[in-house]
Amino acid sequence: MKTFAVIGLGRFGTAIARELSALGHEVLAMDVAEDKVQRVADHVTHAVVGDARDMNVLKALGVRNFDCAVVAMGSDVGNSALVTLNLKELGLKRVVCKAQSHVHQRVLEKIGADRVIFPEHEMGVKLAQGLSSSSVLNFIEFSEDYGIVELAIPRSWQGKTIRELDVRNAFHVNIIAVRKAGVPNSLDVAPGAKYILEAGDNVVAVGRSEDINRLHKVD
């Protein structure tokens, strides 16, 4: 079992904290917002309201003794940089940070971050790898609100282009790939608006879970 401190409990930080805890690790989850801390409290070892920009707060929590810290507060370059600097000055063994841009990444690396990640990019890479190696994609939940699914097209979609269907406006989801009928290992990623769907095709759609569920009801 390892010990992790997750700082910043947005969707990204919350998902990491819950998953690490589910995998059997000791997790300290921390945020300045009490409501975010309360939402994750039942799923981690310790959940505290605190400001990681304050070195004294980190010291009081014993963060220096953790195996790894994840700085998930990537929306504010200054705040994430200050927290990362504090953690490195405490002598933390490993600090992983979320970044929003390449400039942000460079700043974090300059002050000692051991790894800087772009969650959306890494998720996209993993998804592409999974799509190319699997003939069937089941529902994948990104968070409590968003997911991605592969499903057979409704009869009413047959012979129509993606532009004609206007799925984005009609269902608030995006079609990101099409698997051709009768060709299990084929996958057309990012099909254009003029792409014509045919009987037996499967589409891979991403969006809110509730909107994805509506697709299953289309005839």
Write out pLDDT tens, residues 96-146. 999 888 888 889 999 999 999 887 666 666 666 555 544 344 555 555 567
Q: Which two tokens stand for residue 153?
A: 């097209």
pLDDT reported for residue 75: 75
DSSP-H helix ranges across 11-118: 11-22, 34-40, 55-60, 77-89, 102-110
What φ, ψ does residue 132 adopt, rounded to 5°?
-75, -20
* Average pLDDT for 158-183: 87
Q: Which two tokens stand for residue 90?
A: 């405490």
- pLDDT bucket at 196, cuts 50 / 70 / 90: very high
d(CA 98, CA 75): 9
pLDDT reported for residue 121: 67
Q: Which two tokens stand for residue 17?
A: 């904290």
| Tokens 């969650």 found at | 119
DSSP-H helix ranges across 101-208: 102-110, 119-133, 162-165, 167-171
Please tell me whether the overall predicted TM-score, pTM, comes out greater than 0.75 for this model.
no
Q: How many CB atoms lie within 10 A of CB 77?
A: 16
Residues composing the chain = 219
d(CA 148, CA 69): 29
pLDDT reported for residue 103: 87
* Predicted confidence (pLDDT) per residue in 78-88, tens digit: 999 999 999 99
* Predicted confidence (pLDDT) per residue in 17-74, tens digit: 998 998 899 999 999 999 999 999 999 999 999 999 999 999 999 999 999 999 998 7
Report all structural domains of the chain as residue ranges with CATH numbers, in order of start. Answer: 3-119 (3.40.50.720), 132-215 (3.30.70.1450)
- The arrangement of strands across the sheet holding 68-71 comes to 46-49, 26-31, 3-7, 68-71, 95-98, 115-117
Tell me the β-bridge partners of 206.
148, 174
Pairing assessment for the beta strands 140-141 and 146-152 based on DSSP bridges: antiparallel
pLDDT reported for residue 158: 92
